[in-house]
Structure 1
Amino acid sequence: MRSTSIALAVLASSSSAYASPIEALNELHSRDTLASSDPYYPSPWMDPQANGWEDAYAKAKAFVAQLTLAEKVNLTTGVGWEGEQCVGNVGSIPRLGVRTLCMQDAPVGVRFGDYVSVFTSGQTAAATWDRGLIYRRGRGIGEEHKGKGINVVLGPVAGPLGRIPEGGRNWEGFSPDPVLTGVGMAQTVTGIQDAGVVACAKHFIGNEQEHFRQVGESQGRGFNITGTLSSNIDDKTMHELYLWPFADAVRAGVGSVMCSYNQINNSHACQNSKILNNLLKDELGFQGFVMSDWQAQHSGASSAVAGLDMTMPGDTEFNTGLSYWGTNLTLAVLNGTVPQYRVDDMAIRIIASLYKTGQNPTDLPPINFDSWTKNTYGYLHAAVNSGYQQVNWHVDVRANHASIIRETAAKGTVLLKNTGSLPLNKPKFVAVIGEDAGPNPAGPNGCDNRGCDQGTLGMAWGSGTADFPYLVTPDSALQAQALKDNTRYESVLSNYQWSATQGLISQANVTAIVFANADSGEGFIDVDGNAGDRKNLTLWKNGDDLIKNVSSICPNTIVVIHSTGPVLVTDWYNNPNITAILWAGIPGQESGNSITDVLYGKTSPGRSPFTWGATRESYGTDIMYNATNGTTPQQDFSEGVFIDYRYFDKANTPLIYEFGYGLTYTTFEYSNIQVQKTNAGAYKPTTGQTIAAPTFGTVDTDLSHYLFPADVSPVWQYIYPFVNSTDPAVASKDPSYGQSPAQFLPPKATDATAQPLLRSAGKSNPGGNRQLYDVLYHVTADIKNTGSVTADEVPQLYVSLGGPDDPKVQLRDFDRIRIDPGKTATFRGTITRRDLSNWDVVQQDWVVSSYPKKVYVGQSSRKLDLVADLN
């Protein structure tokens, strides 16, 4: 993969000609570059001995051996947009009693479902820094999908990682730190799959902004681009930053990975053999199946040999009835373009993922909801109003998940400032100010896919949404608390009713709580000029001015921010009349109860999962908002691994609150760091070979056996694996059919021989070389609660790798520990070989450099009181 040296040189030579580094970056983004992605073939096949997959493989092998070629193709190809009840379905196998498999969006709950919960965003869950709570959130999401008859949960999210703070879908993921995101991915994958459904880690990879992710979407906004944005990422950055959390998901046994819309080094993610065959399936040893994002497939045979296993939603474009696979994949196998082992491997990966999560493909519970209607009866094939029947059984799957949501949202709220006004204790008079405290006049689900910013921000917008069963607003919850406390309570639920607000907050004894927000989401929706990505880092609807105006009058002003990432607080955070600031993220359905729990000291708050910069420019990255017509937009990730706190530390740009920062209602003292080296052996590169590519069953080459069955009535626009003629040229609509069919594919694309194992790969160990995860050091430290309140502390372990091109410090471990007043607890952290390694682009392996290394333990990335050498 290409080096960043070209991009860095262009940026360095251009910087003096521009008013800011951001302008230089935008100029860099506007040009065409020579970024390229090396070919890597053949596509690796499943390993029968892969750790954690052995039983699933054996069962899947026996099952797939029974299938005809058409049945295998049916498993790989979606039936078309709105073809059946879920956002994505593949074809069924009626002969064996296998119904269509159901894929459904999931970052905060079951999209389009009724009687489902709305969980916190992944970003808010990350702010808890609580592994167990993140697992329970994932388990709850998985249980609700399982209860609706869904087979594959489209989450969790590590792409976007959060390279750019304005990124529209950052809230769906966890954190711009790869370790915190990796923990979030692993815990969520485990939770979802323990519930009995397949998790799908997405979007793989470099999917860091919404602008220019799709050509059609961009052209609809006046940008006549010819190709989707290319994220140009060098090999070292790819491994040390963006691939890291996906490795954790693979190691946790994730059953599916979704490839993204963007290109990586000018090759579409869903046909990029470098990232799918080399990085994901070979180096990381991923054993599950790769699914395309919706309409992210751009070729047929090419994407098959490049590592794609399932195409979603199946049609080339929504509701065309055309598919790159389906009939075309059947023909490609029959004419020898795509080898049998490749389609066999697609099928076995899909079926093995079901078995791994306890799903029997011949005995799947029915799908009991419908994505396209909340009515009991509707069309099974909604795209064409065909098959009127019962499609929704209104099954309530919420269980006790409200308590998990409330706890996660509260523990994921970050207390940024507190000069003594919190926690509240039966205050005399509370005045709540701001639209963000109240309801949407159209109801919590009044905007399609939450594509608006009305009322309190409980959920951002896009495909990562779910329908609220209810939404507890901050106004309603705080009023309920006030009634219990006999507190006087009034609210003005508008950002623009200044006369009423001024009259209220000017009164004696008032505690003013101002609510403001900043929203974002997926690129197919534009809210007030924010085309998915935020167009700035300020609060929406005059929120900053509202805070300034209230605090200019009220000496006890508390600010609560709901947002999808950092906002600029520089102009007002240090005002002495602002006595407290809280970031409450994207909290989900229990929003009001959660913020009340923190404001009144019932729950300990969390820590920031990102850095709060003083200016927009201080982050060093920005959205590429413009592109030249007739081009493929080029976005060079020229900052390398230096994003968020790593960049702030390197460039010494101004910040307000650092990564990992957060206050509690007590104080803690750190002491007595101890480091114990283990007797882990030396690192040994992996050697040996794979087995040769296996095939399961035989392929019947008689084209007449693939004609559309006489007993099946075709549904318009529905994607099938069958042909309509025994003349292959007619069936394929290709007069040159059968003439040297495989010549256009790259060398080794159809190679079925045993392949050498990569030195960095794990031999039957998903996640990479097993020795990367050897623990090299145990680290302990004492933490004493020196205050008067029982509270949770979040000790954080960072390392310095010591090299001139390494970040100053990098997070490597953490915990969340509850400590009583006057008591001392012991933090126990570990440092693995991977934690101390760099990616060597020459050896193509992880290496521990000779530079001196240190370990730090403290309360945030900038408050690291304890330090020790690693010898």
Structure 2
Amino acid sequence: MDIESLIGRLDLSAKVRLLTGADMWSLPALPEIGLRRLVMSDGPIGVRGEQWSSADPSIALPSPTALAATWDVALVRQAGRLLAQEARRKGVHVLLAPTLNLHRSPLGGRHFECFSEDPYLTGELGAAYVEGVQEGGVGTTPKHFVANDFETDRFTVNVRVGEKALREVYLAPFERVVQAGAWGMMAAYNSVNGTTMTEHRALQRDLLKDEWGFDGCVVSDWTAARSTAATAGGGLDVAMPGPSGPWGEKLEAAVREGRVAEEVVDDQVRRVLRLARRVGALEDSPGPGPAPAAPSPTAGSVPAAGGTEIDGTALARQVAARSFTLLRNEGGLLPLGAVRSVALIGSAAGEARVMGGGSAQVFPARVVSPLEGLRGRGDVEVRHAIGTDPRVRLAPLATPARALFLDATGETLAEHPLAGTEARWVGSLPPDVDPARLAAVEIRTVYTPGASGPHEFSIAGVGAFTVKIDGDTVFDGTITAEGGDPAAAFLSPPERRITATLATGTPVELSVRHPAGAFGGMAFVSFTLGHADPSPGDDALIAEAVGVAAGADVAVVVASTTPEVESEGFDRIGLALPGRQDELIARVAGVNPRTVVVVNAGSPVEMPWLEQVAAVLLTWFPGQEAGDALADVLFGDAEPGGRLPTTWPVRQSDVPVLNVTPAGGEVAYDEGLFIGYRAWERAGRAPAFWFGHGLGYTTWSYDTIAVTGTTVTVAVTNTGRRAGREVVQFYLAAVNRDPDRPARRLAAFDVVDAGPGQTVVTTVHLPERAFQIWTEEGWRTVSGDYTVEAGRSVADRRLAATVTL
């Protein structure tokens, strides 16, 4: 039956019910028209599903900054297909991804969750991601529309941005994914030029739907819809979560009172049903429908619709290696040759930081740490030392645990296994738990200490907690939230610590009980039992690491940010590595000139020790296969294929666009078009590494360039002794440039492969938009002479030719 006929079968109450979340993650079923529940899930590196719990594990791909560092649209599309496969395995119809906001400032807390500082690169990779997911019959909702490029006061902040910058920079990636056929879009929390985005008729209805021809569904960010008639008239189609909120009965009343036209509601319903048909949630849909359960989440073993099964573990490892970006390699230290011993140093070497915090978090069934990856080779002695521990919060125990759901009498309603001591159910409880009877959740585990002495335990969460060790109560109190952002309190909660003296090899029973329930049909359970072994202190740990490094052929220091530095809910306060890691690296380099620093961060950090070390390898947040991919790259089984998708500063004070702190409730994007490398070039400042930079394990010559119309052909040769990949970048500059415009812009790119001595040719077409500017009359193509430059980064341009338009 066609969609118009289905709409005609619904009364106003049913129509409105369809537009509001039935719960945290779904829209309601309407059996009378054959509509099943429409389930959504957070992304973008995995598919969490309706349970935010290790009991329902997911593939964890590398972070979006890592995906962007590949500059490989085919690989990103394949990652999208894997995510569709995962979504179908978990019964998910719509993935709440990708994030298309820009790296306006390196202080942005969700920098790791966005692709790039460049709108063109962001748009091309975002389009590939959308196409890959949707080829698998799963919808996407590119987010956060628009100008949600920082976290501070994100619920209330007004972003003041000029029309030219809005069109040419911040809207550009969203326009590209609409061209790619995105089935959804997520409206942001913030306001733009005085109007909150969920009510922004000019951007959501006039531009997105009318001008761009977007036929998909606009979903609010969670709790972003705060009004009834204004959001309905402003272009929003779905208010999440539900069922409480500003729509429901309130929207029905607004229609009956004439404040919202029923034609508006019909259009909203039309868009939701169109989405449902596309993802197979209508009974007569040709789509894939719900997927069967998969036997192994580590392999992503349910094929995407019409496709071949994708090995999720293998793809996660491949993407990680392709994203690793070699920033420095003095004397060709990497790849490592015949080395007998490696000193592997850093807390993140043993407990890998594989993803950023917030809605991007999933629970993989396995995580391969750098220590496991290097020791897995078997032909090299790996000596590990922590050196220093920069973490502010204690990590959860990685011991198997049980979650008990208890009623008011203490009777167990249900019991579920956990991979560690982290409890998290957001929106939905396990299906065998009666929310009406639930009174508390308790985590229980048995821990066997590996060392004697004072062990630290912690409880992180908000509310009342009782912690017991071998039946003795060691904490019984209430932890209160800090700050005004409820998401930050949830994603980065306060912590209380307890010290207990334990003996090596003697097991202890641990338990944490927390009052819990479901409110308005939704559950919010989130707390962690953390742990740290006895420590002699940083001074002793650094001295130990220096000693280990001095006696090894090569020292590899894994330096990382922490969950308190990069996460949803707050912005960064600085770019320095947390703790004493800079000191650790400098001291290790002082005793071993063959020191490699592995930077395990999703966004830029300062590197004051840069000139002291032989090599720097940026691994971003590398996903679940971190350690194996690192071993592949360090020892040359794979080449580090990454190129920087964002400019990397020497010092925070050098960054030309930095501010993310509202003043008077506003952040002014006064820099206009000049963010990223455009701003660096205008400021005349030299960063540590320019946009597009990245070394490989071979060398390249750029031989010839030819132009026919707006088609550019470049020949490059692999002049090294091993096969390699090169990212050929094309930058366009107007010969007679308006001084108020950037010096150049990325206009095209291509990834090529070549064997030793082999020459390859790449041909790209420069898009029309590369020659256009936004004016008061709309888009205008600027004719004249342009210089197109091909090279290895925005600052390493090897060939040039003239394009005349």
The CA deviation at 1:528 is: 10
Query: Residues of 1 paired with 2:591 and 2:295: CA distance?
Result: 54
Structure 2 letter corresponding to 1:514 = V
Q: Which runs of 5+ in 2 are unaligned?
A: 302-310, 389-537
Q: Indicate the residue corresponding to 2:405 in structure 1.
A: none
Are residue 401 (structure 1) and residue 308 (structure 2) matched? no
Q: Secondary structure at the match of 2:321?
A: helix
Residue deviations 1:312-346 (CA, integer Å, cap 9, x gap): 1036xxxxx4x211111112222222112111110
Q: Indicate the residue corresponding to 1:99 in structure 2.
A: 36
Query: Residues of 1 paired with 2:231 and 2:142: CA distance?
Result: 19
Q: Indicate the residue corresponding to 1:490 in structure 2.
A: 383
Given that 2:36 and 2:281 are in contact with CA atoms closer than 8 Å, whether structure 1 keeps it comes out as no
Residue 263 of structure 2 is aligned with which of 323, 333, 341? 341
Query: Residues of 1 paired with 2:754 and 2:559: CA distance?
Result: 32
Residues 88/397 of structure 1: CA separation in 2 closer, same or farther (3 Å cut): farther
Q: Indicate the residue corresponding to 1:446 in structure 2.
A: none
Are residue 68 (structure 1) and residue 5 (structure 2) matched? no
Query: Residues of 2 paired with 1:515 and 1:849: CA distance?
Result: 48
The CA deviation at 1:100 is: 2.3
Matched ranges for 1:128-277 at <5 A: 128-159=70-101, 161-214=102-155, 228-277=156-205
Residues 675/527 of structure 1: CA separation in 2 closer, same or farther (3 Å cut): closer
TM-score (ref. length: structure 2): 0.76
Are residue 332 (structure 1) and residue 257 (structure 2) matched? no
The CA deviation at 1:641 is: 1.4
Q: Indicate the residue corresponding to 1:718 in structure 2.
A: none
Residues 358/98 of structure 1: CA separation in 2 closer, same or farther (3 Å cut): closer
The CA deviation at 1:411 is: 0.4
Structure 1 letter corresponding to 2:788 = V
Given that 1:354 and 1:361 are in contact with CA atoms closer than 8 Å, whether structure 2 keeps it comes out as no
Are residue 435 (structure 1) and residue 347 (structure 2) matched? yes
Query: Residues of 1 paired with 2:182 and 2:566: CA distance?
Result: 37
Given that 1:798 and 1:855 are in contact with CA atoms closer than 8 Å, whether structure 2 keeps it comes out as yes
Q: Secondary structure at the match of 2:208?
A: helix
Query: Residues of 1 paired with 2:58 and 2:317: CA distance?
Result: 15
Given that 1:152 and 1:197 are in contact with CA atoms closer than 8 Å, whether structure 2 keeps it comes out as yes
Query: Residues of 2 paired with 1:92 and 1:514: CA distance?
Result: 52
Sequence identity, in percent?
34
TM-score (ref. length: structure 1): 0.70
Residue 607 of structure 1 is aligned with which of 643, 648, 655? 643
Q: Indicate the residue corresponding to 2:305 in structure 1.
A: none
Residue deviations 1:373-397 (CA, integer Å, cap 9, x gap): xxxxxxxxxxxxxxxxxxx999777
Residue 685 of structure 2 is aligned with which of 653, 673, 694? 653
Q: Indicate the residue corresponding to 2:272 in structure 1.
A: 350
Query: Residues of 1 paired with 2:128 and 2:559: CA distance?
Result: 31
Residues 827/74 of structure 1: CA separation in 2 closer, same or farther (3 Å cut): same
The CA deviation at 1:488 is: 2.3
Q: Indicate the residue corresponding to 1:502 in structure 2.
A: 546
Structure 1 letter corresponding to 2:687 = L
Query: Residues of 2 paired with 1:492 and 1:519: CA distance?
Result: 18
Structure 2 letter corresponding to 1:438 = G
Given that 2:790 and 2:797 are in contact with CA atoms closer than 8 Å, whether structure 1 keeps it comes out as yes
The CA deviation at 1:237 is: 0.3
Residues 541/368 of structure 1: CA separation in 2 closer, same or farther (3 Å cut): farther
Q: Secondary structure at the match of 1:552?
A: helix
Q: Indicate the residue corresponding to 1:9 in structure 2.
A: none
Q: Secondary structure at the match of 1:574?
A: helix
Residue 594 of structure 1 is aligned with which of 608, 612, 629? 629
Residues 826/241 of structure 1: CA separation in 2 closer, same or farther (3 Å cut): same
Query: Residues of 2 paired with 1:531 and 1:108: CA distance?
Result: 18
Aligned length, in residue pairs: 633
Residues 133/645 of structure 1: CA separation in 2 closer, same or farther (3 Å cut): same
Query: Residues of 2 paired with 1:150 and 1:529: CA distance?
Result: 24
Residues 357/101 of structure 1: CA separation in 2 closer, same or farther (3 Å cut): closer
Are residue 459 (structure 1) and residue 355 (structure 2) matched? yes
Residues 394/326 of structure 1: CA separation in 2 closer, same or farther (3 Å cut): farther
Residues 289/821 of structure 1: CA separation in 2 closer, same or farther (3 Å cut): same
Q: Indicate the residue corresponding to 1:620 in structure 2.
A: 656
The CA deviation at 1:115 is: 3.4
Residue 532 of structure 1 is aligned with which of 570, 577, 580? 570
Q: Indicate the residue corresponding to 1:804 in structure 2.
A: 739
Residues 815/59 of structure 1: CA separation in 2 closer, same or farther (3 Å cut): farther
Q: Secondary structure at the match of 2:232?
A: helix
Query: Residues of 2 paired with 1:818 and 1:528: CA distance?
Result: 34
Residue deviations 1:788-846 (CA, integer Å, cap 9, x gap): 11000110011013322221111111111111111100021111211111111x20x21
Q: Indicate the residue corresponding to 2:609 in structure 1.
A: 572
- Greater shift, 345-354 or 64-73, is seen at 64-73
Q: Indicate the residue corresponding to 2:506 in structure 1.
A: none
Q: Which runs of 5+ in 1 are unaligned?
A: 1-57, 215-227, 316-320, 370-391, 440-455, 521-525, 678-776
Residue deviations 1:478-524 (CA, integer Å, cap 9, x gap): 1112x1x2x222111342312211221222x520000001246xxxx
Structure 2 letter corresponding to 1:596 = A
Q: Secondary structure at the match of 2:611?
A: coil
The CA deviation at 1:273 is: 1.2
Given that 1:116 and 1:397 are in contact with CA atoms closer than 8 Å, whether structure 2 keeps it comes out as no
Q: Secondary structure at the match of 1:202?
A: coil
Residue 759 of structure 2 is aligned with which of 801, 824, 842? 824
Q: Indicate the residue corresponding to 1:413 in structure 2.
A: 324
The CA deviation at 1:358 is: 4.6
Given that 1:516 and 1:540 are in contact with CA atoms closer than 8 Å, whether structure 2 keeps it comes out as no
Q: Secondary structure at the match of 1:856?
A: strand
Are residue 477 (structure 1) and residue 373 (structure 2) matched? yes
Q: Secondary structure at the match of 1:857?
A: strand
Given that 1:166 and 1:533 are in contact with CA atoms closer than 8 Å, whether structure 2 keeps it comes out as yes
Q: Indicate the residue corresponding to 1:17 in structure 2.
A: none
Residues 858/393 of structure 1: CA separation in 2 closer, same or farther (3 Å cut): closer
Residue 281 of structure 1 is aligned with which of 206, 209, 214? 209
Residues 465/528 of structure 1: CA separation in 2 closer, same or farther (3 Å cut): closer
Structure with more relative contact order (C-alpha pairs < 8 Å, separation 6 or more): 1
Q: Indicate the residue corresponding to 2:392 in structure 1.
A: none
Residues 851/537 of structure 1: CA separation in 2 closer, same or farther (3 Å cut): farther
Q: Indicate the residue corresponding to 2:587 in structure 1.
A: 549
Q: Return the structure number with greater strand share.
A: 2
